[in-house]
Amino acid sequence: MLYFQTLPKILTNGYKGNALTLTNIMARSEIIPSLLNNPALFYKYDIQEGDTPEIVAAKYYGDSYRYWLVLFANQITDPQWDWPLNSKEFDVYMENKYASDAANANSASVLSYTLATPAYYQQTLTTVDNTTLNTTITNTRIGQYQYNTLVTGANVVTFPDGTSSTQTISKSIISIYDSELSINEGKRNINLINSVYASEIESQLKSLMRT
């Protein structure tokens, strides 16, 4: 199915007053939020290096024109920035964004600058239940002064019922490069609508866009 062919038409006037029929590219539909965590409806997928929505659609649905299903399932309206950049695109993005800060357009200089310059400071609290050994890790952004004065180390906390947990505080400096990379990599885990329902969703979209 060609996505843009399903969108409704609107009648408007051109600059000379002549009637024009245009495709309403602003028309939208969305998945009911309560369904987003339904394991029967969605399949988890990690975007691979070089994947595009069209490639993912061809892999999973056998039809690259179902790229819109990939975007629709994740409410992606701007594939350029909501989709993870490949390694080459990421390098270009970093150079364009930080060349002036690095005072040099040379890619090696930009890389050195972004690796050496903090984006933020972070406190990590690791809690281990000493009975079940379940581990919880909580990361919190902190200021530079708090980072410099933060006391790190481990401490055992005992509760009234006799159980205990070990809490370990550590701190780290997150560089600009690692921060940007983390944001980009965080976009890789997406939902794919189960192929069983693909045709049905296409039919429902066509119906919605006609109303």
Domain limits, the chain? 3-81+189-210, 119-175
Asked if the model's pLDDT at residue 203 lies above 80, the reply is: no
What is the per-residue DSSP string for 39-106?
TTTEEEEEPPTT--HHHHHHHHHS-GGGHHHHHHHTT-S-HHHHSPPPHHHHHHHHHHHHHHHHT---
Mean of pLDDT over the chain = 85
For residues 136 and 103, the model is more confident at 136
The residues facing 170 across adjacent strands are: 124
Q: What is the pLDDT of residues 135-184, one digit of tens each?
A: 999 999 999 999 999 999 999 999 999 999 999 999 999 999 999 999 99
| Whole-prediction pTM | 0.74
Residue 6 has pLDDT above 60, yes or no: no
Pair 9, 26: CB distance under 8 Å: no
Amino acid at 129: D
